[in-house]
Every structure is written in C-alpha cells, then in structure tokens.
Structure 1
Amino acid sequence: MKKSQQLVFVPCPGMGHLAAAVEFAKLLINQHPQLSVTVLITRSPFDPNVDAYIHSITSSLSFPERLHFTLLPSHLDTTTLQTLHPSSVMDSIIENQIPNVRDAVSKLNSAPDSPQLAGFVVDMFCTAMIEVANEFRVPAMVFFTSGAGYLGFKLHLHTLRERDNVDTSELSWEDSGTEFAIPSYENPIPVRVFPSFMLDKEWALCFLNHASKIKKAKGIIVNTFEEFESHAVHSFSKSDLTVYPIGPIISVRDNKTATQKSESDHVMEWLDNQPPLSVLFLCFGSKGYFDEQGQVTEIARALERSGVRFAWSLRKPPPKGTFEAPRDYLKVEEVLPEGFLERTAEIGRVIGWAPQTQILSHKAVGGFVSHCGWNSILESIYYGVPIATWPIHAEQQLNAFQLVRDLKMSVEISLDNRREFGSVGKSGMVSAERIEKGIREVMEKESDVRKKVKHMSEISKRALMEGGSSYSHLGRFVDDILKWE
C-alpha cells in the first residue's frame, strides 16, 4: 500500500455545499499529511459564482498544495432543466456527471506517481456517485451538510415508509395534532414543521430515494459537533450506521463582486462605530427573499418600532418560474415604507448581498434574524450570536424547531413559516408585532439564550482543536477509510 493516498470529493453544485466541502478538505489535509484531495466540480447552471470562488481560493497564499480541483464538463442547460419536474433537476444534473466522474477518476488513477485512491466523499445530494465508488472498489462516505437531527429525520422517515408504509404526502399542515417521534429529536415533531417536500408526492419520493442511498454508504460525515447535537449524535449509537460529527465546518471566505465588496466595506465601517452587541443582523441566506412587498413593510415597521440598531440584507425576488438566485435591488427605497431610510439613517443600514461571516464575527452584532439554514446556524453558534428563527424552505422549519424547542438556544419569530413549494401552499404573513417581539427577545443582553449560545461558542472552537470531539471523530474517519478492505 502506498504511503500517500487520496480522496475524491464530489460536492453538490451550489456555493453553500461546495464551500463546506472545500473547507472540510482543507481540514483533512492540514491534519493528515499522508492525504491529498481532488474535488470534482460541477458548474451549477443557477449559480454563476463557482468559477470566481475557485479562483479566489486557489490564488490564496494559504492554499494547500495537496488540494486539487477538476472542473467537469456538462451538457445540461437551464432550458433542458426547466422542462423537468423540480424534484428531478438536481438528480438529472448529478446523473449526467456519472460518466465524467468515472473518466476523471480513471485519469487520476493512471497518472504517474498518483497517490492510491482511498475513497469517495460524496455530497448528500450526490448519492448516485456511491455506485461509481463501488466500481473502483473503494468506500463511499456521504458528506451531510445539514445537522445530525435532520439526518435522523431523513433516515427514520425512510424506515417508516419501508416498514409501516407511512406516506407523508398524504399528511396536511392543517392536521396540527399529528406528531412523529423521531429518535434524533428530544421532542415529538409536529407535521406543521415538516419540510414542504415531505407533503408533496414527487418531492417525497425524491427525498426517500436519497435516504435509501445514504444508508448504503460506508459512513456519514456530518457538519455538526457532538456537544451541540448530543441527543441526535447519540441516537445513532443504536443503529448500524457509522456517523462522524466533524464540525463546525464554516467558510470564512466571502465570494463577492467588486460592487458588493464596496457596499460590504461601507457596512463594516458603520459597524465599527456601533456599541458592542447593539446591532441586529437580518439575513435570509443566498436564496432568501420575500415575494410580497407587504412582508418587507412588516419587517420595516418592526425595526422602526423596536428602535434597535440593525443591518438588514434585503434581496430582490428572482423572476417567477426561473431557478435564478435573488439579486440586489437597484433602488431599495422603492420596496420600503416611504421615509423609512431617512427615519432610520442613524441606527440602521439596508444592504443587498451581505458578508455574513464578517458581520456575525463583529463585536457590534448582538442578534441574528435568520432563515435557519444549517451553515448560518453553525456560524451563529461559532461566533456566539443568538438567532431569532424565521425559516423559509427546505429543512429550515425543522432546524428552527430544534433550536427553539430541543436546544433552547434561539428565540422564535416563526417555526413554520414557508414559501410556496410545488403543490403545497405557503404560510401567511408574519406580522410586525411577532417580528418586534422576536427582535426584543433576541437582543436581551442577559438572557438565558444568549448565555447558552456564548457557552456553546466556546465549546465549538475547542471541538476542532487537538483533543476535541470533532478532532477525534475526524481522526476516526481517516483511520476507517484508509484501512478499508
């Protein structure tokens, strides 16, 4: 067996998943000098920032020499993808890449002095690549970029479907009394916080298909840490699955255009002049936006009535019927209440794209109104900033429920808010009164929630250090994949 070995990473196209995979690869390489990593990248037809991101990290002086990138060709375009049911889009993109991944790995294996191929690390949405790993007779590990609680939800719902023929697409949010006992959550999960796709037949089938394939992996790497999701992590000890909680893996590099850089510099300069823990940050993720101007008005009313200092990332909805990401408004005042910017000029800033990690790490920031995407949750914990929950789509309602009910580390604006999804309707407007209540609670300087988040922030940093829980689980992962027969 060669001393030097390599792993092939297959991340999901999309900046959040790609950035997490790259940060995980860098962590592996830094701690294990016998390893190299090649990341096989699929360009997303919906996210034009991948090339700029790769250029930014490869031009960094700290870029590790044992980390390599291969851009895969693609023959699918947005016109073709728009003819598919939305639940089939990502699977079609990934399945289209199977021959390209097979060819890329064959070339790696045949290259002179190439390290021995030790295994694949495939994204939670790229489980079709497990079969390619089997062809090369190496183990495939799934990189699960959400939390351990949601992993347990996903796998348990698959078990219920296979064992008891439970069909979640027959459920309804209106059936508020229905709850499910999920081993990875301390409290029963009400249907009202189920992800939207579980109540849609075609999406639910896609969800269950991925869950089935995840169970076939040799192990599951989860971007969490044991102390944070202790109940969820320990729930897997009663199963046949091997789970490695190796987080928090967060990306501190913000990919931005020159225009965005100029605007973000301005907001960072403004933050420098604000008192500690005095600013509320509102940001709803790279895909976060509000269709209704009325909802924007309710947020503005709540901010103005609360009197709190704020930095608000407000994005423009994409054209209906497209897969495009939201963009910045050319004239943000057109969607805000008349005179709002003038009345709040001394206490707030409304911006477009936001350098989230930079803002959360700033000493002036004391609270975070968030959509509860998993990367955002990890960043808020790492930097010790409590969240007021406002989920929008995907598994974010479950994440919000876990933060508020199970972990008691967040305050609630909403747990079940959602955008329209397929055949499933959307929830109503969140009122200014509810928003203002959440704002006031999350900004309390001596609250139990703030103390818990601050304590967990310290633990999150220790988890990654030598002797920490995540450091140990990472070592266990490397030992397992390198000794695989």
Structure 2
Amino acid sequence: MFLGKIARRMEEKQEAELIFIPFPIPGHMLATIELAKRLINHKPRRIHTITILHWSLPFLPQSDTISFLKSLIQTESRIRLVTLPDVPNPPPMELFVKASESYILEFVKKMVPLVKKALSTLLSSRDESDSVRVAGLVLDFFCVPLIDVGNEFNLPSYIFLTCSASFLGMMKYLPERHRKIKPEFNRSSGEETIPVPGFVNSVPVKVLPPGLFMRESYEAWVEMAERFPEAKGILVNSFESLERNAFDYFDHRPDNYPPVYPIGPILCSNDRPNLDLSERDRILRWLDDQPESSVVFFCFGSLKSLAASQIKEIAQAIELVGFRFLWSIRTDPNEYPNPYEILPDGFMNRVMGLGLVCGWAPQVEILAHKAIGGFVSHCGWNSILESLRFGVPIATWPMYAEQQLNAFTIVKELGLALEMRLDYVWAHGEIVKADEIAGAVRSLMDGEDVRRRKLKEIAEAAKEAVMDGGSSFVAVKRFIDGL
C-alpha cells in the first residue's frame, strides 16, 4: 500500500532534475553545457533543473574554468553549477604522463566519496511535496565508475558520449575482444584490421586510440567499456543520417545493450575563458574582406602545442601553395605568449596580405563564414561536427585520443573528408613535411565537386536533425519520456 502511494506520487510529478557529471576539459564541458541547454528548453518542458557537478584535475586551472562555466550558464537560471572539493591523495602525475587514461580512471574512482556527499546533500534538500524529482545522472564516459554511486541512490545513470557512434562501436568491441585475446593491441601489426560493430569497412588497428597500445591505458579503456552496458541509455553527439550504419547496428539492441540516442550535432560556439572580443572582431572583419570559399583554416585543438619545427613546416607549406589562410596557433602561453613569436623569421612579411595568424579563434563562427573553403583539422569530434554542419571540407591530421579513428570514419567510412594522415600521433614526435601539407591543401582547396555536393547535403541534414520533428529532436524527446 505504502509503496503504491509512492509510485503514484512519482507518476504525478511531471518535471525532472538531472545531475550532470562531465569530464573537465574544454571540448567535453562545452558539449555538456550545450546539451543541458537543449534539454532545459525542449518542448514540451519536462526537465525543470540541471545541476552540473564540476570537478577539476590537479593540473588544470580551476578558478578560470569556474568563472568561464558560470558565464556560459548565466542566462539559464535552471542550470546550476556545484563545484566538488579537491580529491585527496590523487594518483601520481607519473601515471598521467605514462598512461593518461589509467590516471583519469583512478582519479574518478577517488571522487566517489565526494560525489556521494554532494548527491546526499542535493537529495536531502527535497521533500515529498516537491514537484521536481531527481530523475538520474548523466555521466561523461570517463566517469562511468560513478554508475555505482547512482545505483546506491537508486538513480539511473546515462552516458553522454561526446564522441561518434562509430567510437561507441569500438567501445562495444573492446570487452568482447579482451575476453578472447586479453593483451593490448600491437602497433607493429602493420595493416591488420578488426571487425568493429557499426562499421562497413574493417578498421585498421593503426587508427585505434594510442592508449590501446600500452598495457595500463589499454586496461583502463577495457574497464570503462565494460561499464557501458550498465547504463540506462547512451546519448551520442551525432545524428542518424551522418552515421546511419552505426546507429542501425545499435537500434537492434545487441546483447541487451542500452538504448542509444543520436542527439547531435551539438555545436560549441564559445570555447574560450576571458574571451577577447577585439580579437574575434579582427578575425571576422578580415574574413569579411575575402572572396567566398577562398580561405584555408588551420586549427589543431586546444590541448596540444605543436613543436616549433612543425610550425616551420606548416609555414613553408602556406608559402608553397599561396592560398589565403587563417592559422590558429595554440602555444604554451608561458613559453610563447604571442603566437607570432614562434613563426619563422620573415614569414609574415612574405605572406603580407595573404593571411592572418592568431592564437585563439572563434571556430564555429569561422567555419560558418562564407570565406572559408577548407579546414586542416586535428579531427576532434566537435571540430568535425562543426565543419560538417557548415559544409566545409576537411583535410585530416589527427593528433591524439580517438582522433585517428575519427579521421578513418570520415574519410573511409563516410567519404566526407580528404585524407592527409589517418594514423599520425602527436606524441610520437614525427614531423610532417611541408610538401605533404602543401599537397593536401591544394587537393582540399581545388576540391572535388562530388565531395562538396555531398557535404552540402550533410550540412542540411545536420541542420534539420535538431529542428522540431527532426531525428535528433525526436531522440531527445524519447530520452526525456524515458525518464
């Protein structure tokens, strides 16, 4: 009788609160906040409040990040930020340098008591008359150990995958392979390929995430992947018409896998704390003066700085091809506070009037600009989605994480990008020479009409997916109804 009354009371509560626990690096945080805004504003309104539990790794600047996050949600009173205390006795930094995925997994496990305390405080502030109920946790895939915390509080856990549906296929494959074979992958295996679920083509081992070739990181990847089936659902930042084969595979719920919701593309329009509006205006004014589709954009993400010797080769390639260019150079601000300092002597004089060099760049606004004709990219998934959304051709130059798999996906699986490199790894220290870069840029900017026509179709499909009645709009509704 008592339980029946509770059940009826829960059914009567029409609005829900979700608790998000993202991974605290820019690409993941920005996508999480944009997803939160989309859920909050979805019609009809069913999500009343979203609480983001923010945490930080010891080597990330905490104060700047918190003020930046607050600025992103200041217009959304129903999204609130709660900062967790520092983790006592974090794993040694030596582990991060050697095997970053293993470090992150161990760090998240040490967060369990802090998350328990935060959830206990949040839930104890509710009473039975409250019309809003906490309906679940939404966890970044790096945070899957926190599924145990959700279970303890009888809250379902959902995974938000800031990567592709193809990446999810790899995560589905890893535990299956591990049960049969166990050792980490061998990089010396040459052209060996593997049958990853959701891919039409066999996937070359050499395009798997670099961490899978080191024992400690490999074990962390497998441990994370093994937790995915425990989630109540998986939200994927992609859309059906882009990765149809991968989503078709998961639609059949293989091995009782949780439902997969294609809710993208989520575009991250503001990706810098302490935004310098004068720099943004300088870049956009310069683009306004350039002919349509005439500028090649070079940008390689926010986490890695290219070596000075690699910067020199890119500069030489720019001089060789003679195309208009916009080049975002992310450097260590302590070593090179001004991006011009790292350029070869006389470079800017030799390309006078041809291009612009900057540190930070407003990437979404740049890719949406009519002057951009091509993008030389590190193939982070956010960057790929932004480029596809505006129909800009990509030349692939992956650097780290899952970017090699992303490059393979958009070149070989989807036929939407130009292959420059598929298996390049920044940490290996290889320098890509100017002639190779120049050749890729020429092919990118001269362009194939067929590829550009296909990109235009995908751009329109990306736009329609998130509109009322589109495939991603419907997927968000299914997710909310399921709560």
Residue 451 of structure 1 corresponds to 453
Shift of residue 4 of structure 1? 2.2
Residue 223 of structure 2 corresponds to 209
* Residue 348 of structure 1 pairs with residue 355 of structure 2: yes
* Residue 4 of structure 1 pairs with residue 15 of structure 2: yes
Asked whether the 8 Å contact 2:300–2:377 carries over to 1, the reply is yes
Shift of residue 93 of structure 1? 3.0
Residue 191 of structure 1 corresponds to 205
Amino acid at match of 1:468: G
Q: What is the root-mean-square deviation in Å for CA atoms of aligned residues?
A: 2.0
Total equivalences in the alignment: 460
The SS at the match of 1:250 is coil
Shift of residue 82 of structure 1? 4.6
* Residue 165 of structure 1 pairs with residue 181 of structure 2: yes
Superposed, which structure 2 residues align to 1:172-321 within 5 Å? 172=187, 174-238=188-252, 239=254, 240-241=256-257, 242-257=259-274, 260-291=276-307, 293-316=308-331, 318=332
The SS at the match of 2:376 is strand
Q: 2:462 aligns with which of 460, 463, 468?
A: 460
The SS at the match of 2:230 is coil
* Residue 479 of structure 1 pairs with residue 459 of structure 2: no
**Unaligned 5+ runs, structure 1:** 319-325, 421-425
Shift of residue 98 of structure 1? 1.6
Q: What whole-Å deviation, never above 9, does each CA across 1:388-429 have from its counterpart, x for those lacking one?
A: 100001110111011111111000111111122xxxxx2632
Q: 1:413 to 1:474 in 2, by over 3 A?
A: same
Asked whether the 8 Å contact 1:120–1:138 carries over to 2, the reply is yes
Q: 1:114 to 1:126 in 2, by over 3 A?
A: farther
Identity fraction in percent? 40
Shift of residue 68 of structure 1? 1.7
* Residue 391 of structure 1 pairs with residue 401 of structure 2: no
- Quote the Cα distance in structure 2 between the aligned partners of 1:365 and 1:274: 9
- Quote the Cα distance in structure 2 between the aligned partners of 1:404 and 1:20: 24
The SS at the match of 2:446 is coil
* Residue 75 of structure 1 pairs with residue 87 of structure 2: yes
Shift of residue 177 of structure 1? 2.6
Asked whether the 8 Å contact 1:41–1:71 carries over to 2, the reply is yes
Q: 1:27 to 1:211 in 2, by over 3 A?
A: same
Q: 1:453 to 1:328 in 2, by over 3 A?
A: farther
Asked whether the 8 Å contact 2:112–2:149 carries over to 1, the reply is yes
Residue 438 of structure 1 corresponds to 440
Deviates more, 1:438-447 or 1:21-30: 438-447
Amino acid at match of 1:178: E
More helix by share: 2
* Residue 42 of structure 1 pairs with residue 55 of structure 2: yes
Amino acid at match of 2:456: K
Asked whether the 8 Å contact 1:38–1:70 carries over to 2, the reply is yes
**Unaligned 5+ runs, structure 2:** 1-9
Deviates more, 1:123-132 or 1:445-454: 445-454
Q: 1:263 to 1:79 in 2, by over 3 A?
A: farther
Residue 19 of structure 1 corresponds to 30
Asked whether the 8 Å contact 1:315–1:329 carries over to 2, the reply is no
- Quote the Cα distance in structure 2 between the aligned partners of 1:427 and 1:286: 18
Q: What whole-Å deviation, never above 9, does each CA across 1:140-171 have from its counterpart, x for those lacking one?
A: 11111100001101220221111x224233x1
Q: 1:138 aligns with which of 155, 163, 169?
A: 155
- Quote the Cα distance in structure 2 between the aligned partners of 1:269 and 1:77: 49
Shift of residue 464 of structure 1? 0.4
Asked whether the 8 Å contact 1:44–1:50 carries over to 2, the reply is no
Amino acid at match of 1:72: L
The TM-score normalised by the length of structure 2 is 0.90
- Quote the Cα distance in structure 2 between the aligned partners of 1:350 and 1:93: 37
Q: What whole-Å deviation, never above 9, does each CA across 1:429-475 have from its counterpart, x for those lacking one?
A: 21212211211122135532222111101100100011111111111
Asked whether the 8 Å contact 2:416–2:451 carries over to 1, the reply is yes
The SS at the match of 1:385 is coil
Q: 1:446 to 1:452 in 2, by over 3 A?
A: same
Asked whether the 8 Å contact 2:172–2:197 carries over to 1, the reply is no
The SS at the match of 1:126 is helix
Asked whether the 8 Å contact 1:15–1:47 carries over to 2, the reply is no
Residue 6 of structure 2 corresponds to none
Asked whether the 8 Å contact 2:46–2:480 carries over to 1, the reply is no
Shift of residue 333 of structure 1? 4.3
Q: 2:380 aligns with which of 373, 383, 386?
A: 373
Shift of residue 126 of structure 1? 0.3
Residue 88 of structure 1 corresponds to 102
Residue 423 of structure 1 corresponds to none
Asked whether the 8 Å contact 1:280–1:367 carries over to 2, the reply is yes
Q: What whole-Å deviation, never above 9, does each CA across 1:233-286 have from its counterpart, x for those lacking one?
A: 11213412211111001121232435x443333222211111111111100001
- Quote the Cα distance in structure 2 between the aligned partners of 1:348 and 1:381: 23
Q: 1:65 aligns with which of 55, 77, 92?
A: 77
Residue 417 of structure 1 corresponds to 424
Asked whether the 8 Å contact 1:13–1:41 carries over to 2, the reply is yes
Q: 1:337 to 1:223 in 2, by over 3 A?
A: same
The SS at the match of 2:423 is coil
* Residue 118 of structure 1 pairs with residue 135 of structure 2: yes
Q: 2:120 aligns with which of 96, 99, 106?
A: 106
The SS at the match of 1:310 is strand
- Quote the Cα distance in structure 1 between the aligned partners of 2:161 and 2:73: 24
Asked whether the 8 Å contact 1:8–1:119 carries over to 2, the reply is yes
